[in-house]
Amino acid sequence: MTVPDFFQVDVFATRPLTGNGLAVFLFTDGWSAPIMQGLTQEMKQFESIFLSEVTSTGACARVFTVEEELPFAGHPVLGAAAVLHRTQTPEAETSSWILKLPSGDVPVNTKKMDGHYLAEMNQGPAIFGTAIASAELAPILSRLGLESGDLTAGFPAVVISTGLPYLVVPVRPEALAWAAISGTDLEALLSVHGAKFVFVLDVAGRELRTWDNLGRVEDVATGSAAGPAAAYLFSLGLADPNLPVELAQGRFAGRPSRIRVIRDERGGLLVSGEVWPVAHGFLDPGTLRVEALGP
């Protein structure tokens, strides 16, 4: 049977049409970056992932948002591994994969469930930056529609990375509802502190929100932020490092998602979630002959 060119899946989901939607493209060897960027924009997903050099143990992977290529992203890695399990080892109950991303190799384990897959990736130990002083944080809070009084007292804002650096901003539970990005210079403000993106975190409710840096799209389940969020909770004694951490996201976007994080004995962060199939299909002839896709 001919393998479809792409699969649509929902990651960190509890059933189809929940969690974070993702387009997974297979056998993309030789595809140009403009093609991959253009297809991501066509799909209008928060991210798409493109797999080349596909084998029964892994693939090379490139991840695009509608705006740019990312060196690493969480839910695309899990979704891609589930599609590899479905297409490359369909008879196996469990499979292991190495996805080679620009940020490095990411090991992923997948397990066949009843009509879907459970996928878990090892993001490795978290890397912590320094805490950000209140005066330096003020312009970032302004872009988030927040004030200093919206922060959780006694907890720092700090940059943490497990492949993609996030500024973690701890907020009071009620502040989650009105947080929203405005302006066009948030990415520049974050870059001063070594961060690529920001997320607000209700440390008590273990719920987070994040967006693209222009605030156009709210992400509903962010695997690359889940590791830093759990690491933040562990580091401050807000979660037992010997127990799984369940993180909530997507409620405000109408797509509630479930993300699980475990810390292993080496300090590595294991991020997992369910992957549900939604659709699959083929690209029409001629699509890949377009070398430069304009707006």
Active site residue ranges: 47
CA dist 252 → 71, 209, 219 (Å): 27, 8, 10
Burial class (CB in 10 A: 0-12, 13-18, 19+), 26: buried
Q: Which of 244, 219, 249 is nearest to 230 (CA)?
A: 244
Residues 261, 264: Cα–Cα separation, whole Å: 10
Residues 145, 178: Cα–Cα separation, whole Å: 7
For residues 58-76, one letter each, b for 16 or more C-beta atoms within 10 angstroms of the residue's C-beta and e for the rest, the string is bbbbbbbbbeeebebbbbb
Residue 262: helix, strand or coil by DSSP? strand
Residues 143, 279: Cα–Cα separation, whole Å: 37
- Number of neighbours of residue 109 by Cβ within 10 angstroms: 17
**Do residues 143 and 293 make contact, with C-beta atoms less than 8 angstroms apart?**
no
Q: Which of 11, 17, 16 is nearest to 47 (CA)?
A: 11
Backbone φ and ψ of 174, nearest 5°: -70, -20
Encoded tokens for 226: 């889940």
- Amino acid at site 185: D
> How many alpha carbons lie under 13 Å from residue 138 in its C-beta half-sphere?
3
- Number of neighbours of residue 201 by Cβ within 10 angstroms: 27
